[in-house]
Structure 1
Amino acid sequence: MKLLIKGMVCNRCIYMLSEEFQKLGMEIAAIRLGEVILKNTGNIVMEEQVIRNMLNKNGFDLLYDKHQKTVDQIKDAVEKGIQEQLHTGESVKFSTWISNELHRDYSSLSALFSSSEGCTLERFIISRKIEKVKDLLSNTDQSLSETANMLGYSSPAHLSNQLKKHTGFTSSYYKRMRHNKTPHIENQIIADNRS
């Protein structure tokens, strides 16, 4: 995510904002006067408010280039599309979904997104779906097949291949994460009750 920041005038500003973003747990891909590029983030709307509060507290503010609002709307539409798939269990064709949400031609939105974000819109959609898959596999009892159906994958094998390609891990790795969490939580509860 690229942020244009009003009030960055010297190297001290760069250093201070690097520290502040680190305190927020956000990784910076690049920073220079007037601009911060963050690595992939989670909830865009929530994070924007947190970032704005931090910037205002330190005497800075966000600037928007003319395309950033549209890029943010595209990201929100992707998140809504994923939630729609999870809620209805029906596959969402993202090109149509995004075009309908923003009332604009998909190819121009895709081109704008790519030039602004440095990655294709298709890759962004895949990465957001993969994040949701990881969450579902490691935090719920859903099978890979159920997850694939909920997120509109053509087959569990397709999802499995995509997960391995983008994360380097198989679905069984994320399932083990869920099982490894449970004893830790139970052990912590037992230890807390003994105190």
Structure 2
Amino acid sequence: MDFYIKNMVCDRCKMVVRQTFEDLGLSPDSVELGEVKLSLEPEPAQVNKIAEKLQSYGFELLDDKKNQIVEKIKNAVRELVHQHPDSLKKITSSVFIAEKVGKDYKYLSGLFSESEGTTIEQFLIEQKIERVKELLAYDELNLSQIADQLYYSSVQHLSTQFKKVTGLTPSSFKENRDKKRKTIDSI
């Protein structure tokens, strides 16, 4: 049986979800971002406990097929930006997402827009800007290196997009001591 879970965005999330299932006496075959596979089907009471426990950690069981696909799209975008930014140079984001989700990109794009009220492209931009904020906060790379790492055509392109999304220039953001960043799952 497969469970689809909203708000799983990192390896720590996978550890928490795995532990949640194990605490309830269920041994997952695999735990990936947004998905848990079990070989045995749990009792309805166990499913309710899983949902309750996951919710206490900020996760949500998804039972609707469309919501499951939307969550897969989000996880693919997060993976592309935060774990495999080098893929941005090799293939288009639409090809990456379609391959990860296993569906036609045109269908995915329409479903995502209908469900989220924004486009996959805008979601990708927001994820890239959050990654830029993270890299600026680390203060290990200059803006040119960050633009190159996230496959922006130029520093100017990155700066323009950054200002459009945040209302600040990258240098203003860097000077701001608060460095207000959003959690990945809140985007």
1:118 aligns with 2:117: yes
Q: Deviations over 1:149-179 (max 9, x none)?
A: 00011111000000001000111123224xx
Report the CA distance shift for 1:139/1:106 in structure 2 as closer, same or farther (over 3 A). Answer: same
Aligned counterparts of 1:89 and 1:106: Cα–Cα separation in 2? 16
Aligned counterparts of 1:154 and 1:114: Cα–Cα separation in 2? 26
Map of 1:10-159 to 2, 5 A cutoff? Answer: 43=9, 46=13, 53=53, 55=55, 62-82=61-81, 83-85=83-85, 90=89, 92-159=91-158
Report the CA distance shift for 1:42/1:103 in structure 2 as closer, same or farther (over 3 A). Answer: closer
TM-score normalised according to structure 1 size: 0.59
TM-superposed deviation, 1:76: 0.8
Aligned counterparts of 1:44 and 1:112: Cα–Cα separation in 2? 24
TM-score normalised according to structure 2 size: 0.62
Report the CA distance shift for 1:85/1:114 in structure 2 as closer, same or farther (over 3 A). Answer: same
- Structure 2 gap segments, 5+ residues each: 1-6, 21-50, 179-187
TM-superposed deviation, 1:91: 5.4
Aligned counterparts of 1:54 and 1:99: Cα–Cα separation in 2? 28
Aligned alpha-carbon RMSD (Å)? 3.2
TM-superposed deviation, 1:55: 3.6
Report the CA distance shift for 1:80/1:62 in structure 2 as closer, same or farther (over 3 A). Answer: closer
Report the CA distance shift for 1:145/1:56 in structure 2 as closer, same or farther (over 3 A). Answer: closer
Report the CA distance shift for 1:124/1:44 in structure 2 as closer, same or farther (over 3 A). Answer: farther
Aligned counterparts of 2:112 and 2:78: Cα–Cα separation in 1? 15
Aligned-residue identity in percent: 38
Aligned counterparts of 1:78 and 1:113: Cα–Cα separation in 2? 12
Report the CA distance shift for 1:89/1:71 in structure 2 as closer, same or farther (over 3 A). Answer: closer
Q: Which SS does the other structure have where 1:124 is aligned?
A: helix
Aligned counterparts of 2:105 and 2:88: Cα–Cα separation in 1? 23
Amino acid at match of 1:78: V
Larger of the two Rg values belongs to structure: 1
Q: What is the number of residues matched between the two proteins? A: 136
Aligned counterparts of 1:174 and 1:91: Cα–Cα separation in 2? 30
Aligned counterparts of 2:10 and 2:67: Cα–Cα separation in 1? 12
TM-superposed deviation, 1:54: 5.8
